[in-house]
């Protein structure tokens, strides 16, 4: 399949969506590039392969929100959990570490995970209800 300019534009935006989850964390240029490339790839695969299959079963995303914001956002949330899990005071400095991480580091990754799951529930449940109403 030949990719279009829209795929490239959406991949670029998806990278920004995913990196936003780690915006206040130290990931470095390499980490940002890696997250962005993977998120762009996930988004492009979603638009080109997942969306047609979802349409076949009656699930429609007319604005592309699922592939541009949903999948990269979930990936970004997972990245933030990983970055938090490996964070140390030595990397951030004592003052900045205490300012960024409001919970003990052993619990902060768990807090990130719970926030991701709550966000997913807040997106999926109303989406299902709206789909049933419109359906």
Q: pLDDT (tens digit, 9 = 90+) per residue, 94-119?
A: 888 888 888 888 888 999 999 999 99
Give the chain's largest Cα–Cα span.
54
Task: Of 35, 30, 31, 33, give the one whose Cα is nearest residue 18.
Answer: 35
Q: Scanning the structure block, which residue is given the tokens 């998806």?
A: 14
Rounded Cα gap, residues 135 and 133, in angstroms:
5
pLDDT digits (tens, 9 = 90+) for 79-99: 999 999 999 888 888 888 888
Query: What pLDDT score was predicted for residue 101?
Result: 85
pTM: 0.89
Both tokens of 51, joined, read: 């969306």
Residues 6 or more apart whose CB falls under 8 angstroms from that of 18 comprise: 35, 36, 38, 39, 72, 73, 75, 76, 79
For the chain, give the mean pLDDT.
Answer: 91
User: What is the average pLDDT across 51-62?
Assistant: 88
Asked whether the beta carbons of 22 and 9 are under 8 A apart, the reply is: no
Query: What pLDDT score was predicted for residue 119?
Result: 95
pLDDT band at 12 (very low <50, low <70, confident <90, very high): very high
More confident residue, 59 or 116: 116
Looking at residue 102, the DSSP 8-state letter turns out to be -
Query: What pLDDT score was predicted for residue 2?
Result: 82
> How many beta carbons lie within 10 A of that of residue 85, not counting itself?
14
Percent of the chain past pLDDT 90, that is, above it, reads 64
């Amino acid at each position: 399949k030949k990719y279009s300019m829209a795929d490239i534009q959406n991949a670029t935006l998806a990278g920004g969506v995913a990196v936003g989850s780690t915006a206040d964390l130290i990931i470095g240029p390499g980490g940002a590039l890696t997250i962005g490339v993977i998120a762009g790839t996930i988004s492009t695969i979603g638009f080109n392969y997942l969306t047609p299959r979802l349409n076949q079963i009656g699930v429609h995303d007319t604005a592309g929100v699922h592939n541009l914001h949903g999948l990269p956002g979930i990936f970004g949330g997972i990245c933030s959990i990983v970055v938090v899990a490996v964070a140390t005071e030595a990397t951030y400095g004592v003052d900045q570490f205490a300012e960024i991480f409001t919970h003990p580091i052993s619990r902060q990754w768990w807090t990130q995970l719970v926030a991701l799951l709550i966000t997913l529930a807040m997106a999926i449940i109303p989406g299902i209800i709206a789909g049933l109403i419109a359906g």
